[in-house]
């Protein structure tokens, strides 16, 4: 069974859940303090080269780093938080959700928000 998020950004901003706020650049959950840092992207790709992943074969660490920087943004680390995009709302990630406690925060205001599921 599939839960589909179907809500407008305008409606979502009315659904403030608490006074918790996700600060700009904060990399842990304001609610449960779970660490959202998923580790170094470059280290992941170098490890993949050692494991035989085809795309990295024959490339130096520096070449892998240059390739990575074309597709990812600083600080070049994986995030465990889940990006949510609302159909009909902002064209891109509008909310961040904690993978552990499922608390959801507005990307722009940082406010904890309840997104109705249908």
Which residues sit at the interface with Zn ion, rule CB under 5 A?
29, 31-32, 34, 98, 100-101, 103
Q: How far apart are CA 28 and CA 98, in angstroms?
A: 8
Q: How far apart are CA 75 and CA 98, in angstroms?
A: 19
Nearer to Zn ion, 66 or 101 (CB): 101
Nearer to Zn ion, 65 or 100 (CB): 100
Q: Which of 100, 102, 111, 91 has the alpha carbon at shortest distance from 38?
A: 100
Structure token pair of residue 49: 């080269």
Please report how close the Cβ of residue 1 comes to Zn ion at its closest, in angstroms.
24
- Is the peptide bond prior to 113 cis by the omega test (within 30 degrees of 0)? no
Please report how close the Cβ of residue 19 comes to Zn ion at its closest, in angstroms.
15
Nearer to Zn ion, 27 or 34 (CB): 34
Please report how close the Cβ of residue 18 comes to Zn ion at its closest, in angstroms.
12
Nearer to Zn ion, 59 or 107 (CB): 107
Please report how close the Cβ of residue 82 comes to Zn ion at its closest, in angstroms.
11
Q: How far apart are CA 82 and CA 63, in angstroms?
A: 29
């Amino acid at each position: 069974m599939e839960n589909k998020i179907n809500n407008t950004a305008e409606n979502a901003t009315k659904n403030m859940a608490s006074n918790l706020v996700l600060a700009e650049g904060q990399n842990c959950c304001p609610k449960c303090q779970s660490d959202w840092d998923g580790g170094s992207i470059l280290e992941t790709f170098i490890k993949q080269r050692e494991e035989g992943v085809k795309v990295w074969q024959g490339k130096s660490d520096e070449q892998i780093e240059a390739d990575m920087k074309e597709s990812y943004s600083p600080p070049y680390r994986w995030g465990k938080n889940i990006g949510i995009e609302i159909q009909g709302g902002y064209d891109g990630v509008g909310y961040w959700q904690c993978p552990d406690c499922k608390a959801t925060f507005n990307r722009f205001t940082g406010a904890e928000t309840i997104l109705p599921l249908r």
